[in-house]
Amino acid sequence: MSYPLVTTDWLETNLNLEQLILVDASMSKVVGKKAIEYEMPLYIPNSRRLDLERSLCDPNSSQTHAFPTEEQFTAVAQRLGINSESIVVFYDNQGIYSAPRAWWIFQVMGFKNVFVLDGGLPQWLLENRRVVPNTSNIETEVGNINGIFNPQLICDSNFIFEQMNNKQLAVLDARSRDRFLGIAPEPRDGVRSGHIPNSISLPYSEVLDGHCFKIDEQLAAIFSARLDSKTSTLVFTCGSGITACIILLSAVIAGYRDLILYDGSWSDWGSNIALPVGN
């Protein structure tokens, strides 16, 4: 994977680049932090809008925020005007929240020329850069992108259950420490409190500095302090597979490469009484 972030300076300089597809992937519901609220919608100029919660979640799955199918991904990405040679940049209105999820979906579907705007809309506004009240009204031609799903980049509960005692694999949980310990209630009905046995707590707030990611060296230190030197594969989980992508992206920044998303995350594991809960 190439370096996954672009800066606000880079984006402002390249806003009118022909190959650039800039996409707002904000979500309406924010969990795990106090949401940044806006009096009116604001967008970076030339933005296109992606409804991540509806357009890129499989509606036929019982799983919360289930990964889209190849066909679903291809249809949505083509409607956004994305071609094989496009440069896609995602951002969201919380700084770093849902944009990493969109980035990982594109990675899993085989499109690598995709990036996240470090700091998102809040950092853009903090630097007094220009915003607009609507997304781009430019008529978008249908793109030619085709998704090719890589199943090795996501996993389910069966995989984690089988690998729980594998010392070369670590499961990192992006939820708050209190939810991990089971002393804070889960936001979804029917989901037990606690965590996957042998998993490691890494609240996503710990990899952020204000609206942006911490620098590479700081992130590398965060991971090395939690991981055994023999660990080669990292699996990421959270409540429903959204904020897990924040710490997954931070692992890429820190230099890790063998990375997997547990897409069902705790909403899947915690609702299955046949699966154990860690102490």
28-83 pLDDT tens trace: 888 888 899 999 999 999 999 999 988 898 877 767 778 899 999 999 999 999 99
Instruction: Provide the pLDDT for residue 136.
Output: 67
Pairing assessment for the beta strands 114-117 and 87-91 based on DSSP bridges: parallel
Average pLDDT over residues 236-243: 95
* Furthest C-alpha separation in the chain: 54
Average pLDDT over residues 206-219: 97
Lowest model confidence (mean pLDDT) among 20-24, 86-90, 138-142, 241-245: 138-142
Active centre residues (catalytic) = 238
Q: Walk me through the domains of the chain, giving residue ranges and CATH numbers.
A: 5-149 (3.40.250.10), 152-269 (3.40.250.10)
Averaged confidence pLDDT in the chain = 93
- pLDDT at position 1 over 60: no
Instruction: Provide the pLDDT for residue 230.
Output: 85
User: Sorting pLDDT into bands at 50, 70 and 90, what band is 8?
Assistant: very high
Higher pLDDT, 140 or 254: 254
Instruction: Provide the pLDDT for residue 140.
Output: 72
User: Sorting pLDDT into bands at 50, 70 and 90, what band is 239?
Assistant: very high
Percent of the chain with pLDDT over 90: 83
Instruction: Provide the pLDDT for residue 141.
Output: 84
Number of H helices, E strands in the chain: 10, 12
- Measure the CA–CA gap between 71 and 77, rounded to whole angstroms: 10
Burial 164-178 (b: 16+ CB within 10 A, else e): eeeeebbbbbbbbee
Average pLDDT over residues 156-167: 94
- Measure the CA–CA gap between 34 and 213, rounded to whole angstroms: 18
Contact residues for 261 (Cβ-Cβ < 8 A; gap 6+): 104, 108, 153, 154, 155, 235, 236, 241, 244, 245, 248
User: Sorting pLDDT into bands at 50, 70 and 90, what band is 187?
Assistant: confident
H-helix segments, 85-146: 99-108, 120-126
- pLDDT at position 279 over 90: no
Using DSSP, state whether 158 is helix, strand or coil: helix
DSSP letters spanning the chain:
----EE-HHHHHHHTT-TTEEEEE---S---SSPPP--SS--B-TTEEE--HHHHTS-TT-SSTTPPPPHHHHHHHHHHTT--TT-EEEEE-TTSSSSHHHHHHHHHHTT--SEEEETTHHHHHHHTT---BSS---SPPPP--------GGGEE-HHHHHHHTT-TTEEEEE-S-HHHHHT-S--SSTT--SS--TT-EE--GGGGEETTEEPPHHHHHHHHHHHS-TT--EEEEE-SSSSTHHHHHHHHHHTT---EEEESSHHHHHTT-TTS----
Average pLDDT over residues 150-174: 95
pLDDT in tens, 100-147: 999 999 999 999 999 999 999 999 999 999 999 988 655 578 999 999
Instruction: Provide the pLDDT for residue 178.
Output: 95
- pLDDT at position 4 over 70: yes
